[in-house]
Amino acid sequence: MLLEAGVGAFFPPEQRERFGVSEDRHVLLDGLAAEGVGPGDVDVVVLSHLHFDHAGGVLRAWEPDHPPELVFTDADYVVGRTAWDRAAAPTPRDRASFIAELPGLLEATGRVELVDGPTSSTLGDGYRFHTSDGHTPGLLLTEFDTGDGPVVYASDLVPGVPWVHVPITMGYDRFFELVVQEKAGFLADVAARGVTVVFTHDPDVAASTIRQDDRGRFVAEFSRP
């Protein structure tokens, strides 16, 4: 199962710079291969939302004169229904964040589960979702137990350590004040329960637990290697 597809390598070379993409290889596939996992071994892909930097990795690397194609040909795909609807009908402000062909390619597999609530029939017991609408409507944050404590994939609600400070938001967030409100509730919950938060956009810290300091501010409790 994959909880993050990343940006992948679907952009043509001339668009990489425009969208700030430095990778010229499909680093997700490279990473999986290093673990001995091939694309056909992936049975479920959870897409927290369909922004290109989180969902582009489900596409094969760009090749001249080849239309986009899914790389995980045998996988089921789990997406929040609201996030799906947003990708299918983006606004002028966020259209560039989506891959126009992706919903159609996913739909053609016949193996997309659109999630409305906190659980997924594809994933079954052991996984549950927090939802958030501030970054983009219908964001799914997947929580599961590792056997060594619970872990949540925070996606773009808390994309890295700087964003653990509640007032910090991103230019890509659609509804800033909602992000602030949702983060405060989410961080209070994970801090109280000792959940490890996985960050998607932090160049230095992969994951951390959260605590509140003496002033009531949330801080990441990671230990540097």
Positions that interact with Zn ion (CB under 5 A): 51, 156
Least Å distance, CB 205 to Zn ion, is 19
Q: Which of 179, 143, 151 is nearest to 164 (CA)?
A: 179
Question: What Å distances lie between residue 193 and 108, 117, 159, CA to CA?
Answer: 40, 21, 20
Cβ-based nearer residue to Zn ion, 53 or 143: 53
Spatial separation of the C-alpha atoms in residues 114 and 132, rounded to whole Å: 15
Least Å distance, CB 40 to Zn ion, is 28
Least Å distance, CB 214 to Zn ion, is 33
Cβ-based nearer residue to Zn ion, 51 or 130: 51
Q: Which of 44, 35, 19 is nearest to 9 (CA)?
A: 19
Cα–chain center distance at 36: 23
Least Å distance, CB 192 to Zn ion, is 26
Cβ-based nearer residue to Zn ion, 169 or 209: 169
Cβ-based nearer residue to Zn ion, 143 or 156: 156
Residue nearest to Zn ion (CB): 51
Least Å distance, CB 172 to Zn ion, is 6
Cβ-based nearer residue to Zn ion, 141 or 191: 141
Question: Could you tell me the two tokens for 150?
Answer: 């619970």
Question: Could you tell me the two tokens for 208?
Answer: 């951390």
